[in-house]
Amino acid sequence: MCCFESFYLLNSMTHKNSIFTKTATTLLVAAILMTASCRPQPPPKHSVLGWRPIASWSGRGNTQTDSFNIGSGQWRIKWETSHEQSPGKGYFRLKVHSLVSGRFVETAVDHKGVGHDVVYVAEEPRAFFLVVESSGIDWNVSVEEGVIGDQEAPR
């Protein structure tokens, strides 16, 4: 029997049972409201930081990269050097510049020899480009932007 049939049945009783009818109706409405509020709640979520690929470059020698936009202000540069011609002689320097003004922002990497690392950059959101100064070594560079997302908490 559905709740509407129960309600109809209770209302169709005679008025001499009106206290019973009012009590039963109140209990029925309370039961319906409690059942509706007992639905399972979605699991709680918490914010996590993820990394979205923006661009990557590789080469040997000096270059200036294409420009790229950073909208969040938080980003990182993953870099790696390999195949050094003469051990101890190769170097890799990576400079960050603002595309808006062309001004130098920071030297992100200044490394001699083979290596790899991740450099984190926190700057106002805008367009940037990188300047690579390198000699006697191959290099790879990738830029990733920090993005905030929601993740369900473990149950």
Over residues 63-101, the pLDDT tens digits come to 999 999 999 999 999 999 999 999 989 999 999 999 999
pLDDT at 149: 87
pTM of this prediction exceeds 0.75: no
Give, for all 155 residues of the chain, the pLDDT tens digit: 444 444 444 455 444 456 655 665 666 666 666 665 566 666 777 888 899 999 999 999 999 999 999 999 999 999 999 999 999 899 999 999 999 999 999 999 999 999 999 999 999 999 999 999 999 999 999 999 999 888 777 76
Q: Exposed, middle or buried by CB within 10 Å (0-12, 13-18, 19+), for 137?
A: buried
**21: its two tokens:** 């009818």
Residues with Cβ < 8 Å from 20, sequence gap 6 or more?
13
